[in-house]
Chain A
C-alpha cells in the first residue's frame, strides 16, 4: 500500500507521493523531502539525533510513522536560522566549540532551542535533564553546556541568571 503524505515543513507545504507507510518521518524528511538535517544515528529513539518539532513538540522523527505526520507541522534544524543569520543557539554552538563531528549537533540544537523556548535561564541541572535524550560521543558535553548557557544569556540578557557554571577550564 502506498500513500500520499502532506506535511508542512519549516513553514512550507510539502507533498510526498508513493510513500510506503512503513517509512518514518525521518526517512520522509531525509530521503523524500531533501532535508537531511535530522540525523539517523540509531533510528530507534535511543540517541536524539533526529530530534524535530512536530506540532511544536520535540520528538524523535525516527519513531513517527510517515502517515502519522499527515497534515501536521514539522520544524527541523534547517528551519531555525533566519536566512544567513543563525539562531542564537546555533551561533553559540559554533562559538563555544560545541561542534566536533557534528552528527549529534542538529538534534542537540533543536533540543536546546526547545529548552530555551520553555525556560529563560535554565540552571545547569535543568540543561542536563533537558538534553539527556541526546547522545554525543565527541565532546563530553562540556562545551554543549557552555553553548546553551551562552545562548540563554543572549536570548534573555535581562533574565534571571542561571546557576554559576559548574566547572572551569584552563
Chain B
C-alpha cells in the first residue's frame, strides 16, 4: 500500500514519527481517458470490486487499540454521578474517559456549539455519548463499558415539536427551545381565492442508512497533536471542531479522508472524531473506532420529521393565488444543521410554482428526540411532499389533471420566488413534466403471464394479480444547490503537472470528500479537458490543503470542480508561457492538447514532457460562487440561493388493496443537470436518489416512542431491496447555467425530492385514499 505521506510530493510531507497506518487511503492512479462529458471508469472502481479499497472501518495500525462509546439509555435525564473504577479494572483496558477528560471546550456543532463531546450533568437524547473506553480488543472495551456505573435521574422527555412551538415544554437549552423560526411573506397576506384546498401532512423520520458505519483511526503524533483518518463529508469543519474540543491549535489536528461508505448528509456532524482523538491522546496509541449498525442509528443525525399544514388558494382555472403554510420540523436534542434546514423548507416551501401571495412559517425546535440534521434533500423533501399533495388536491378541485395543474403554475426562468429572488437561469419545470408525462406507460399486469416477483409482495407468494389496481402519479421539486444565505462558500484545489517516465502526468489535490458519488472521476475529467493530459492521479483528500467545503447541497462538482478548473487554468497559463518562450511564440496563439503545446498559428508543437523536463508546475486555486445574502428574519425576503435544481417524476404503482401491498412498477424521471459532466454518474445519482425517495414513500421510518428509537437495525428499519426498486426511464436535460462552471447544475438531491410525492400520488390514484403521511404502510391502505 502506498504511504499517504509521499515524500516525493513536498505539499504532503509530515513530521510524524509514528509510522502511518498500514492500511490507509491511497492515491488513485488509475486513469481511464475521458474528459468532461464522457463516462470514464472511476479511478477507485477496481479497488472497490476487489475488496481492496480502504474504507474507514478497514484501517489498521500495528499498535492500535479499540475505542467504544457508552451512551445514554434515556432520552432525558440528569446525571448524578459516573463511576468508572470498576471498568478500569478490566484487563486490557487502556483508558476510560468522561467529560472531565475533555481538555478543550466540551461543545461542538455545525451551526451552534450546543452539543457536548461527552455529556456533563444532563443527557438530552437516547444514545448521547457519556463515556469512552479504549482496550486491546473491541469486546474487552465493550465489557468494560458495561461496568461504568452512571446514576441517572430520569426526566420526562419533550417529544412533541408542535407543543414546543406553542410554548408548552420545559426549557431544554439556555437560549430557548426554538432553534429557528423563519417566516416568508410576499404579496397580500389576506388574499382570497375562489378555490381553496387544505391539508395537513406528516413526514416520518428517515435515516440516511449509509452502509459504511461511522469509523476512523486516530494516531497520536509526536508534536502532541493527532492524525485522524476518518469517513466524513467535510474535513475542515471536522478539523475545527475537533481542535476546539481537544484544546489544540488547528494545525495539530490533521485529517485524512478514508474510504466513505455513503453519507447522504449523515456524516456532516461529528460522530466518533473527537472521541477517537481523545482516546489516542490519552493512551498514546492509535485508536480505531467502528460503530455497529445499532450504534450508527444513535450516532448520526436523521431527516427531520415534519408536520406541515397547507392552504392553497387558486382561481377557477387552477392558477395559484396564494399559499399559506405552517411547517414544524423536529430538530431533536441538538441544533446540528436545523437552522439551514428551516431556511430550505421555508424558502422552497411553495415548490417550483409561481405564487403571487405567500405566507409561510417554518419552525425548527429542540426536543428530546434523536437529533436531526442533514439528509439528501435537506428540508426540501418534507415541503415537497406537502406542496405536491396539495397540487393534486387542487387539480381535483378544479377538475384538471395532475400534469395540467402543474403546467399552469410552473415557474420558469425569470419567475420570482417567494423570497423575492428572481430565477436567473433555466427553470424547465414544465418541460420536465411534459417529458415524464409523454413516456409510454408500462403494460398492465397480466396475472396469467407475470412473474410473481413482479407483483406486490414480491417473493412472498402474496398477490397473484387479483384485486390489484394500478395508479399513476406525478411529482416535481426544487432544490437550492450550494450553500445559501450569505455563507462564504468556496473550495480549494491544487493541480500539479510533471513528467513521469517521459509521459506528462497531472495530480489533483483537494479536501473535497469523495463519499461515493464519483467526484474523483469528475476531477480527473476536468483536468484532462483543461490540460489535455491523459494521466491524472487523485491524491487522498486531507487538511494539508485548504478547505473545500462540505460534500452536501449537491455542491461538490460545482464548487470543487470550479476550483480544479481554476487551478488547471493557472497551470495552463504557466505551461503556455513556458512554451511561448521555448517556441518564440505568443501564449495566446498556443493551446494544450494531447500532452503537447500546439501553436494555432503555424502548427509548431512542443511536447509537454520535454518542456517540463525535471520541473513541475503546480498551482493552487480558491474558487467561490456568486455571493448570496441572508433572508430577512421577519419577511424572508432576500437573494438567498445561488442555483436551483429541478427534477420531475412519474410513478406507476400496482396496489393490492386487500393486503395493503404496493409495488412500484416503474419510475420515470426527467432532470435538468445543466451539463452532464459524467453521464453515467448522473444516471447513478438519479437512480439512487429516486430509490431513497421510494424508501420514504413506502417503508422507511425511524420509529420513535417516548423519545426512543425502536428500530435501530436493518431488520427493523427497512430500506428498498433490489426487488423493491423498479426499472427507471430517465431523461437528462442539459440546459447550461451560464453562472456555473461548464454550465453544470448540482445533481444529487433533486431526484430524492420528487420521487416520494409521485409515488404517493400514484397510490392515491389507485386507491382513492387521502394518504397524508409518509411512509405509507400496508395498514394505511387496508385501514384498521
Contact = CB atoms under 8 A, between A and B. Distances in A.
Tell whether any CB of A sits under 8 Å from a CB of B in the complex: yes
Interface of A: 20, 22-23, 30-31, 34-44, 46-47, 49, 76-78, 80-81, 86, 90-91, 93-97, 99-106, 109, 123, 125, 127-129, 131-145, 165-170
26 contacts: A20-B137, A34-B60, A40-B57, A41-B293, A42-B714, A47-B211, A49-B211, A90-B50, A94-B46, A97-B39, A99-B44, A101-B261, A102-B261, A103-B210, A103-B516, A104-B211, A125-B451, A125-B454, A127-B722, A135-B721, A137-B210, A138-B688, A140-B728, A143-B684, A167-B729, A170-B683
A106 B680 CA distance: 21
Given A135-B211, A136-B211, A167-B666, A100 B518 contact: yes
B714 A97 contact: no
A137 B209 contact: yes
A103 B41 contact: no
B573 interface: no
B691 to A, nearest CB: 4
Contacts of B41: 94-95
Contacts, number: 214
A44 B688 contact: no
A131, A139, A141: most-surrounded residue (chain B CB, <10 A):
A141
A40 B453 CA distance: 29
Given A41-B714, A105-B49, A145-B722, 19 more contacts: A36-B55, A39-B261, A40-B57, A41-B293, A42-B714, A44-B293, A46-B293, A46-B714, A80-B50, A90-B49, A97-B684, A100-B688, A101-B212, A132-B723, A137-B688, A140-B728, A141-B720, A142-B727, A169-B729
Interface of A is mostly: loop
B124 interface: no
B515 interface: yes
B498 to A, nearest CB: 26
Interface string B690-701: 111000000000
A165 B210 CA distance: 28
Contacts of A37: 50-52
A133 B169 CA distance: 44
Contacts of B51: 35-38, 76-78, 106
Interface of B: 23, 39, 41-42, 44-46, 48-55, 57-58, 60, 137, 139, 208-213, 259-264, 290, 292-293, 451, 453-454, 458-459, 515-518, 666, 679-681, 683-684, 686-692, 713-715, 719-723, 725-732
A31, A36, A95: most-surrounded residue (chain B CB, <10 A):
A36
A131 B53 CA distance: 22
Nearest to A38: B51
A31, A49, A78, A101: most-surrounded residue (chain B CB, <10 A):
A101
A153 B178 CA distance: 58
Given A41-B261, A46-B293, A167-B728, A135 B681 contact: no
A78 B46 CA distance: 11
A23 to B, nearest CB: 8
- Cβ-closest 4 pairs across A and B: A37-B51, A101-B516, A167-B727, A103-B261
Contacts of B454: 125
Nearest to B453: A125
A136 B516 CA distance: 12
Given A22-B139, A46-B293, A137-B264, A102 B44 contact: yes
A105 B44 CA distance: 12
A94 B45 contact: yes
Nearest to A49: B211
Contacts of A168: 727, 729
B314 to A, nearest CB: 35
B725 A86 contact: no
Contacts of A38: 51
A44 B714 contact: yes
A128 B454 CA distance: 10
Contact of A77 (B44, B45, B50, B263): B50
B691 A100 contact: no
A140 B688 contact: yes
A167 B728 CA distance: 6
Nearest to A130: B722
A42 B679 CA distance: 32
Contacts of A40: 57, 213, 290, 292
B722 A132 contact: yes
Contact of A99 (B49, B721, B730): B49
A120 B689 CA distance: 31
A129 B460 CA distance: 11
Given A22-B139, A90-B50, A170-B730, A99 B211 contact: no
Contacts of A100: 262, 516-518, 684, 688
A32 to B, nearest CB: 11
A170 B730 CA distance: 5
A39 B23 contact: no
B66 to A, nearest CB: 10
Contacts of A41: 211-213, 261, 293, 714
B211, B684, B714, B726: most-surrounded residue (chain A CB, <10 A):
B211
Contact of A169 (B259, B666, B683): B683
Contacts of B518: 100
Contacts of B689: 140
Contacts of A127: 722
A134 to B, nearest CB: 7
B50 A97 contact: no
B260 A101 contact: yes
B611 to A, nearest CB: 33
